Structure 1
């Protein structure tokens, strides 16, 4: 029996209309779809009526499907001759562990094609007119995760030294620690900052603040994950 193929697909930041044309086409072709927790279920409207849809929730701080089990599911389905769409929120290679899945499957001899998605770090600020780069204001934009494993602590001082726009994924739960480290590294306490929950969706929430009060303001507003944090002078250009 001929083995199937895995399509590692980025499903975009939330709004199903931001799914790429290629992603929509492939979702409509495959036999099996493995869907991450943060993927908007509206994208499944492109799936075949007879496609098998398996929800493999993964979200920080909550009970999640083990990565090893997801890898095994992919292997089982392709070995049965099925083509598989592995749907991941945003872009699979931006804090989505897509690289781990890609190389695990390829080591097992599986053919994998990666289909990029629009990452939330770009699309969500844009939804509120925040340009990550802007002439004479921000020449760099840095994506960083606020949640690390083991001793992989981010060098926040180097983030400050870049002096551009900082976009933090998965940072809500550690934001007080992060802002303290940024301030200790010399960041202006009055630097504009924003937090956006459920960006690009109808229920999106926007909070405008300053770095020195950002963590407290988020607690007061009861913003929760999933959320993107943007820090930098460009935040002052936002509309809410």
Structure 2
């Protein structure tokens, strides 16, 4: 690696100014999947307000003296309210600090980053959004499952199993009728109901399904099964669930695992 070239790239990353909030995506877990922009922001921020699924190795990249504030949300456990997080972002920015709001995956994909951006805009707080690898797509790649294949699908559906309320839940039966693969985020607690609705919508019980737990981390585990078996599984969190013909491609790749580098 050319260390000088890397240093030059980091030097070109944008500079944080006092009173700014940067909403950043840390990717699916592996620190090696951080973008250079996020790495640069970690080295500048006065305060890093971070979610639960940020690896310790990522937080260790913060500049010396930076304050780390945990505001993670975990299902079924006490966690910070969204309004409290937003108020903290505004207050810290108004105090003249350089604020990094660090989220797993991409901040604008099921990460409530959009809500926080709107709140910052309405409060007249300068902000920037730094994209990250969204966990759903990264998990499929890490599990040797192509998100798209010309022979299987012309689209892919990203859906959350954790809607703000039941009236906002996806029409699962309608999604099933599209015939396109579905990637589920935050669906472990609502999975039985989702599976029932997908079956009612016409997806065959034998539709291939994959569960990717701890994607891209040393603890990653991949379970390949059928749609109708998903509802009976005890799936730990965090997990991404892929449903559709793309899952079957994994077996074809692993049949030649000697040529597939881990």
TM-score (norm 1): 0.94
User: What is the 5 A alignment of 1:93-172?
Assistant: 93-150=108-165, 151-172=167-188
SS of residue paired to 2:127: strand
| Aligned position for 1:198 | 214
1:45 aligns with 60
Structure 2 gap ranges (5+): 1-16, 255-262
Specify the SS of the correspondent of 2:210: strand
1:178-193 aligned within 5 A: 178-193=194-209
Deviation at 1:3? 5.5
1:28 matches 2:43: yes
1:234 aligns with 2:250: no
Shift of 1:60: 2.6
3-state DSSP of counterpart to 1:117:
coil
Contact 1:25 1:46 in 2 (8 A): no
Aligned equivalents of 1:174 and 1:71: distance in 2?
27
Contact 2:173–2:199 (CA under 8 A) maintained in structure 1:
no
Q: What is the CA–CA distance in structure 2 between the aligned matches of 1:198 and 1:191, rounded to whole Å?
A: 23
Deviation at 1:30, TM superposition (A): 1.2
Provide Cα deviations, 1:71-129, integer angstroms capped at 9, x if missing partner.
Answer: 12112211111110000110011111101100101111100100011011111110111
- Whether 2:227 is the aligned partner of 1:215: answer no
- In structure 1, the gaps of 5 or more residues are none
CA shift digits 1:34-69 (9 cap, x unpaired): 011112221112211111111112123221111111
Query: What TM-score, normalized by structure 2, do the two folds share?
Result: 0.86
Shift of residue 161, structure 1, vs aligned partner: 2.0
Which protein, 1 or 2, shows the higher relative CO under an 8 Å CA cutoff with sep ≥ 6? 1
Distance 1:44 1:97 in 2: 20
Residue correspondences, number: 235
Secondary structure of 1:238's match?
helix
1:38/1:59 contact within 8 Å kept: no
